Copies of this chain bind each other. A is one copy, B any other.
Amino acid sequence: MPEFSDLRVNGDRLWSTLMETAAFGGTRNGGICRLALSEEDRMARDWLIAQAKKAGWQTAVDDIGNIYILRSGRDPSRLPVAMGSHLDTQPTGGKFDGVLGVLAGLEVLRTLDDKGIETQASICLINWTNEEGARFAPGLMGSEVFTGDMPSETARSRKDNNGISVGEALKAIGYAGEEKAGDRRFGAMIELHIEQGPILEARNIPIGIVEAAKGQLWFDGCVRGRESHAGTTPMDLRHDALTAFAAFALEIERIARAEAPAGVGTIGVAHVGPGSRNTIPGNVRFTLEFRHSDAERLAAMRAAAETAAQQISADRGVHIELDCIWQKAPVTFDPNVVAAIAKAAERCGFDFIHMTSGAGHDAVAVAKVMPTAMIFIPCKDGISHNEAESATPQDCAAGANVLLHSVLELAGVSV
């Protein structure tokens, strides 16, 4: 396709749609509060459908509210190539998380129309329902119903804090489709997303090609020591739960650093008891999570943490317990889709690195039923799920251009 190498999306138009649709649930602080299946979500969905109808693309909605916008290709025997993400946001979300992937997909379709380019396979833009899980738990609802990981009935029975179910909310906003989620097949799916992390910005690289998603292990833990008087208990007769916890936290950090950059380990929550200024802590309850793109290394991190817990317990006369409460295996994205993205980035002349996703995404969920990969662009300070979430017009356009050329690479172009 050398004749299409110079093809570029309209970055200004992409930015305009990002800013225009940010009004649907726009907050005073420049963020978006667009909870799944809310009135604001309806407005954004209606706007998207209106753009599709205006362009003459087919639209469809399935029984969990996922929206499909299809620009037909020349060869009906080929499975469509999909692009997609989500229009819903966190309660104090930003303007890019999810939204960029949908609107960049729209911009790709518009660019193809503008240039009159016909693809071999059809191209499908997808808006996945309720990725965030903020109003209705759990998240990744549209994509996991699509894959069959969550039964559609289960998803539709989930309720928000006001007792309204997903099924009722879908009907209320007019997005309870007839089509059964998962009935469609796709040749590939690419999700463009802000990184939600600091790596691309720190390395000043515009494009991350995501070839895998980290698996996760979540633990609840506790340290039981012995509460005693801070003034009268000498150092050698203490069973201080807090200093034992501190030793454990540094071991976790050491274990995770040894697995960098593919592995991370985090203690996010710690409650120290009894919590008195002049009492040596007798217990610490905490959470621990590990993520790694390699299942064996993830298991090795767990084993190392358990060894550290035993060692510190023995050394300090305390008892450290770890209880694994949730796990998710790593996902490897499709090598052909990854290669297509790399080719697209090269064609556009962008520096890129291969990376793994540390967070969950619709693309991670659907990777089990279709060849999938992701494109990351930098976001300011790695901040996301926050009204301060920010990405530059240049980076958004770069991501959309890589998305465009990836899709062309996978769908094929009729010349």
Which A residues contact B (CB, under 8 angstroms)?
195-199, 202, 214, 216, 218, 228-237, 240, 242-243, 245-247, 249-250, 253, 256-257, 260-261, 263-272, 275-281, 287, 289, 291, 357-360, 382-385
Contact = CB atoms under 8 A, between A and B. Distances in A.
Given A198-B233, A250-B247, A270 B269 contact: no
Contact of A280 (B228, B229, B257, B266): B266
A101 to B, nearest CB: 16
Contacts of A228: 197-198, 382-383
A282 to B, nearest CB: 10
A257 B265 CA distance: 29
28 contacts: A196-B232, A197-B228, A198-B228, A198-B233, A198-B234, A214-B231, A216-B231, A228-B383, A229-B358, A229-B359, A230-B266, A231-B264, A231-B357, A232-B358, A233-B264, A235-B256, A236-B260, A242-B249, A242-B268, A243-B267, A250-B250, A267-B281, A268-B277, A268-B278, A268-B281, A269-B275, A270-B272, A278-B289
Given A236-B260, A246-B250, A384-B229, A272 B275 contact: no
How many copies of this chain are found per oligomer? Answer: 2
Contact of A196 (B199, B218, B229): B229
A202 B237 CA distance: 9
A13 to B, nearest CB: 29
Contacts of A243: 249-250, 253, 267
A357 to B, nearest CB: 8
A280 B256 contact: no
A279 B270 contact: no
Contacts of A247: 246, 250
